Amino acid sequence: MSSNHRPESMQRITTKALAEAFIEEQIKAVKAQVGDNKVLLALSGGVDSSVVAALLLKAIGKQLICVHVNHGLMRKNESEQVIDLFEKQLDANLIYVDASERFLNLLAGEADPEKKRKIIGEEFIKVFDEEAVKLGRIPYLAQGTIYPDILESLNKGKVIKSHHNVGGLPEEMAMELVEPLKLLYKDEVRVVGSTLGLPDEMVLRQPFPGPGLGVRCLGAITVDRLRMVRESDAILREEFAKNGLDKAVWQYFTAVPDFKSVGVKNEDRYEGYPVIIRAVNTVDAMTATVAEIPFSLLQHITQRITSEVEGVNRVLFDYTPKPVGTIEWE
């Protein structure tokens, strides 16, 4: 559609009024681009795809078909929240695909982080592609591409990790792209999302990697350790929100390694897995510092995780900045 270059004269969208003007302009542009045709969107529930969904719903309503693929590596209740908001509250056309078992079967026994990412990325495209075929020929594919994605792809450096965003364009599918956010920075996307009426929990969300909890369940993924990651992450997020840290810390999550240690519970030997807490601040995710978390809160979270998450007998805090550690463990 339009160029991939953000003109210097383009005003930064910092207020509701500016966001409203942007939304009006994009509604016109999208209508002119797609006419009466249907548009397909992979809706992960992340900020960018959610804002695109809300914008397109406003522009073309039921012509938009959202597909939410649950790869089994989502956070606790995440798919339910996507369904609740988009299908139940906003009345979007939404296809929910529970592909958890498919992904977990493919990932079984694979411990190499890059191979895990590759499996998840490729399988995602397959599942999405299958849904698209079932729907017949849809000429347009909407994507939550934002300006940093465009800058990053222009600027490919050495690959430290092969990041991917689920929802990448299946190359063999000749669909025209609809990318209404492609000239916006993340903070502008958030203002647009709020102006469209999306709730704060969605718009102010911390980043979540495409391969999801798959890169936080370290080594070969098992259903049991995946549960430990998911449950401990939910406790961490609940406690950070209760204590106002959800707005002060850029990204925070738990990871579970693939080794056990010896512990003691009810006077018995209790072998279990450790949970690692990661909490970092950054501007652009290229470098990061470790967030300071009150010791008493860490103690409380440790107490909750070790008593509420079956199979966990230790909680560790990761003090490593990036570099030398990356933000995710894999």
Please give the residue ranges that form the binding site for ligand XMP (CB under 6 A): 161, 163-165, 207, 209-211, 251, 285, 322, 326-328
Residue 234 Cβ, how far from ligand XMP at the closest point, in Å? 17
Residue 47 or 59: the one with the smaller Cβ distance to ligand XMP is 47
Residue 4 or 206: the one with the smaller Cβ distance to ligand XMP is 206
Residue 94 Cβ, how far from ligand XMP at the closest point, in Å? 21
Residue 115 or 265: the one with the smaller Cβ distance to ligand XMP is 115
- Give the angle 95-98-103 at the CA atoms, nearest 5°: 135
Residue 34 or 203: the one with the smaller Cβ distance to ligand XMP is 203
Distance of alpha carbon 45 from alpha carbon 76, whole angstroms = 13
Residue 209 Cβ, how far from ligand XMP at the closest point, in Å? 3
Residue 330 Cβ, how far from ligand XMP at the closest point, in Å? 8
Residue 59 or 73: the one with the smaller Cβ distance to ligand XMP is 73
Residue 137 Cβ, how far from ligand XMP at the closest point, in Å? 29
Residue 206 Cβ, how far from ligand XMP at the closest point, in Å? 8
Distance of alpha carbon 326 from alpha carbon 252, whole angstroms = 13
Residue 118 Cβ, how far from ligand XMP at the closest point, in Å? 11
One-letter-per-residue 3-state SS of the chain: CCCCCCCCCCCCCCCHHHHHHHHHHHHHHHHHHHCCCCEEEECCCCHHHHHHHHHHHHHHHHHEEEEEEECCCCCCCHHHHHHHHHHHHCCCEEEEEECHHHHHHHHCCCCCHHHHHHHHHHHHHHHHHHHHHHCCCCCEEECCCCHHHHHHHHCCCCCCCCCCCCCCCCCCCCCEEECCCCCCCHHHHHHHHHHCCCCHHHHCCCCCCCCHHHHCECCCCCHHHHHHHHHHHHHHHHHHHHCCCCCCCCEEEEEECCCCEEEEECCEEEEEEEEEEEEEECCCCCCEEECCCCHHHHHHHHHHHHHHCCCEEEEEECCCCECCCCCCCC
Residue 45 or 211: the one with the smaller Cβ distance to ligand XMP is 211
Residue 270 or 317: the one with the smaller Cβ distance to ligand XMP is 317
Residue 300 Cβ, how far from ligand XMP at the closest point, in Å? 25
Residue 233 or 328: the one with the smaller Cβ distance to ligand XMP is 328
